[in-house]
Structure 1
Amino acid sequence: METCIQQHDVVQFSKENFIAVAGEYNGNFSRSLSDSASDCESGVTGSSSSSSSSDSRRRRRRSNLRRRIFDENLAVELSEQERTHEVIRRRFLSAMRDDTKVVSIHKRIWSSDFSAQARVQSFQVHSKALASNNNGGAGASPNSMKFAWFGGSKERIHHILSRGFSFNDIRDNINAAIFLSPDHSPVNSLEKAIPDEDGVRHLLLCRIVLGRSELVQPNSAQTEPSSNEFDSGVDDFENPKKYIIWSSNMNSHILPEYVVSFTDSSTTGNSKIVNGMKMPSSPWISFPSLISVLGKFLPPDAISLISKYHVEYKEKRISRPELIKIVRQIAGDKLLVAVIKSCKKKNLVKALRN
């Protein structure tokens, strides 16, 4: 089926709602997470031994689902009563749809083998080196150590936890880089979080070191730092949606620490089958049809711009969430919802005829 936009795509999270949900952790995620769990330097992790009986019962009820997610020798599941679990869960859900449910949160065990310990030591060495080299200037961050999200299938997440990033994680983009989203914006990493056989999706929460970042334009084919002055890239200095770690640094500047496993409407009934074809249950319209209809309401330059970004999406130069955001900014939510609703019956009839 042609790429489409659905009514539930046109959803906005107000700043007030974000603050209310995030609570005390909003804006202090990195500090809260570091305060609530041992740093990666310790290499020692484990679940709390003080879990209540009610927590144990909840865990047993979902044990069959969770047991199949990750090897216990690779990552340990955090108890729901641990502060680290609560900090990550709140931060994650504050930026997600209301129907999102966290299944489990796992933490990588770095003390499991010498290879894992070597990865931690490499990350520590590079982070300290960059911290000492970057003392201000353009693109320098006062705190270049951050947390960021990376999405992938369960198999890819498992491979990254076990062996690190590889060519398979960069082959789909022209920049030969790892793209991560800031800790306050996991939604920008959802596209590659492919549901597993149980309908569960997975996001890595990584500790990253940016060093001195440079601005990388959306259409850039850049594959490495433009000069020795820079260590990483961002799409915006003031409000970044992407952290860009070049392939040469993907296993020294990124340390995957946690995995958030979750379900949402996209994996639990947000689609229906019509004549053997999976259809969105929310009203929808294909992008070519949307562009055609919007042409009746928007000026030619706006339609040309939407068409341009649609082509970039098809060429995998931008993600679907980025395309949706651009279309919403150009057309406005009120017009988009009206157009999508008006095409609902037409789409259903067309699907039944095919």
Structure 2
Amino acid sequence: MNQIGAENQTSITIDDAMSESNELDSCYNCFQHFVTNGFSKIDESSFEGDIIKTSFFSSLSRNPQISYRTKIVAIHKNSNTSQCWKIRAHSFGVYAKAVADTRGGDANIKYAWYGASKNEICETVMYGFSWRKHSISVSPAKHGLDSVLCSGVDGSGVRHLLLCRVILGKQEVVREDSSDQFHPSSMDFDSAVDDISSPTRYIIWNTHLNYNILPCYILSFEAPPYLSGLTEPKTIKPKTWITFGTLISILSPFLDHSQRASLEEQYTNYLEKKITRPQMIQRVRAIAGNQLLSAVVKLYTNKLAAATGVMQQAARLMMQPDCWEQFIVR
């Protein structure tokens, strides 16, 4: 009996839930939003589109199953001619020259992927990267899998990545758990990486945002529903346990009919042992969204309220973007 009880529990905790904007309040077509904000759709078969497409699939090559089942839906190019974007582009050029002058003539400019939820991608296209974060992580062009894992599924089952030009300058190594660092350790450095010789992550500090990272393209794609073959975040011993049944009952009011039906179907598959616990966790994440899970599990963990109170508190939390900073796993 104890074994059965343990099997019916999930280790979704704040440490497991990566910060990601939920899609419940999305009510506009993202492609139209991209176009309205100066991004024009390009033909995938064009020379430009083919280069981006080839680069993207090459970055997924370390997992052929994911690459084979991934389909590009659209590619949009930054064609914005507004005064704001002209200033941003000019600032990027000025900063690149300044870094090059300081670093022996090389600003170390690279292309990099940035994955996020549809809401965050849309906000970035309109306003730039959020200054609320002390840094953002982008993936080298050949390591797109990591950014794909950070992207969020919208209501149409589509994910979005930004392909950006990034001024890296001189880099220093920063450990993944260095959450207390908010800027370069000294004036000798401009950005950070997880590994100097073979980086899989570039770190851009908020002191440099929006003038050393310039969004150039938006790649929209469909990936396998649960990204089961992707590299997962490091396993951390859960701080608390919550049964799938309880979790689903708390999540249900925030989900639409199709999401609830999908969640219940996956739960049935889990109970019938057609899928494993890790697979069930991934499917809950894919359906509900990690930001909603973060709110629900945080409140559940602290026992702030019973189920109804948790839902009300979670709804209020999701209206306050700033509160998510303390939950983000860096």
Instruction: State if a TM-score over 0.5 links the two structures.
Output: yes
Residue matched to 1:86: 50
Rounded to whole Å, the distance in 1 between the matches of 2:32 and 2:276 is 34
Residue number among 95, 107, 114 corresponding to 2:77 in the alignment: 107
RMSD of aligned residue pairs (Cα, Å): 3.2
* 2:96 and 2:107 in contact (8 A); partners too: no
Rounded to whole Å, the distance in 1 between the matches of 2:177 and 2:83 is 40
Q: CA 1:84 to 1:66, structure 2 compared with 1: closer, same or farther past 3 Å?
A: farther
Q: How far did residue 268 of structure 1 move?
A: 10
Q: CA 1:94 to 1:252, structure 2 compared with 1: closer, same or farther past 3 Å?
A: same
Residue matched to 1:163: 127
Rounded to whole Å, the distance in 1 between the matches of 2:195 and 2:102 is 22
Which amino acid counterpart does residue 74 of structure 2 have in structure 1? S
Q: CA 1:199 to 1:115, structure 2 compared with 1: closer, same or farther past 3 Å?
A: same
Rounded to whole Å, the distance in 2 between the matches of 1:258 and 1:154 is 14
Residue matched to 2:149: 191
The sequence identity of aligned pairs, in percent, is 32
Q: How far did residue 183 of structure 1 move?
A: 0.4
SS of equivalent to 1:71: helix
Q: How far did residue 189 of structure 1 move?
A: 1.3
Which amino acid counterpart does residue 188 of structure 1 have in structure 2? D
* 1:200 and 1:267 in contact (8 A); partners too: no
Residue matched to 1:261: 220
Structure 2: which 5+ runs fail to align? 1-8, 13-28, 61-65, 230-258, 282-326
Rounded to whole Å, the distance in 1 between the matches of 2:37 and 2:100 is 32
* 1:108 and 1:161 in contact (8 A); partners too: no
Q: How far did residue 108 of structure 1 move?
A: 1.1
Q: How far did residue 3 of structure 1 move?
A: 5.0
For 1:123-162, list aligned pairs within 5 A: 123-135=92-104, 144-162=108-126
Rounded to whole Å, the distance in 1 between the matches of 2:46 and 2:274 is 37
Q: How far did residue 256 of structure 1 move?
A: 0.5
Which amino acid counterpart does residue 126 of structure 2 have in structure 1? S
**Cα offsets for 1:82-103 (capped at 9, x unmatched):** 1110011011112331100000
Structure 1: which 5+ runs fail to align? 5-64, 137-141, 171-175, 290-314, 319-354
* 1:69 and 1:154 in contact (8 A); partners too: no
Q: CA 1:144 to 1:218, structure 2 compared with 1: closer, same or farther past 3 Å?
A: same
Q: CA 1:279 to 1:218, structure 2 compared with 1: closer, same or farther past 3 Å?
A: farther
Q: How far did residue 190 of structure 1 move?
A: 2.2
**Cα offsets for 1:169-220 (capped at 9, x unmatched):** x2xxxxx101101000111112331111111000000000011111112221
**Cα offsets for 1:3-61 (capped at 9, x unmatched):** 58xxxxxxxxxxxxxxxxxxxxxxxxxxxxxxxxxxxxxxxxxxxxxxxxxxxxxxxxx
* 1:199 and 1:268 in contact (8 A); partners too: no
TM-score, length-normalised on structure 2?
0.60
Which amino acid counterpart does residue 284 of structure 1 have in structure 2? T
Q: CA 1:66 to 1:231, structure 2 compared with 1: closer, same or farther past 3 Å?
A: closer
Residue matched to 2:63: none
Residue number among 161, 175, 178 corresponding to 2:136 in the alignment: 178
SS of equivalent to 1:190: helix
Q: How far did residue 81 of structure 1 move?
A: 2.5
Rounded to whole Å, the distance in 1 between the matches of 2:266 and 2:165 is 43
* 2:10 and 2:277 in contact (8 A); partners too: no
Residue 222 in structure 1 maps to residue 192 in structure 2: no
For 1:1-354, list aligned pairs within 5 A: 2=10, 67-68=31-32, 70-96=34-60, 97=66, 98-111=68-81, 113-135=82-104, 144-167=108-131, 170=133, 176-220=134-178, 221-266=180-225, 273-274=263-264, 277=267, 283-286=275-278, 316-317=328-329
Residue matched to 2:251: none
* 2:30 and 2:118 in contact (8 A); partners too: no
**Cα offsets for 1:287-316 (capped at 9, x unmatched):** 9x9xxxxxxxxxxxxxxxxxxxxxxxxx75
Residue matched to 2:248: none
SS of equivalent to 1:106: strand
Rounded to whole Å, the distance in 1 between the matches of 2:216 and 2:151 is 17
TM-score, length-normalised on structure 1?
0.56
Count of residue pairs the alignment pairs up? 221
Q: How far did residue 133 of structure 1 move?
A: 0.7
Q: CA 1:275 to 1:199, structure 2 compared with 1: closer, same or farther past 3 Å?
A: closer
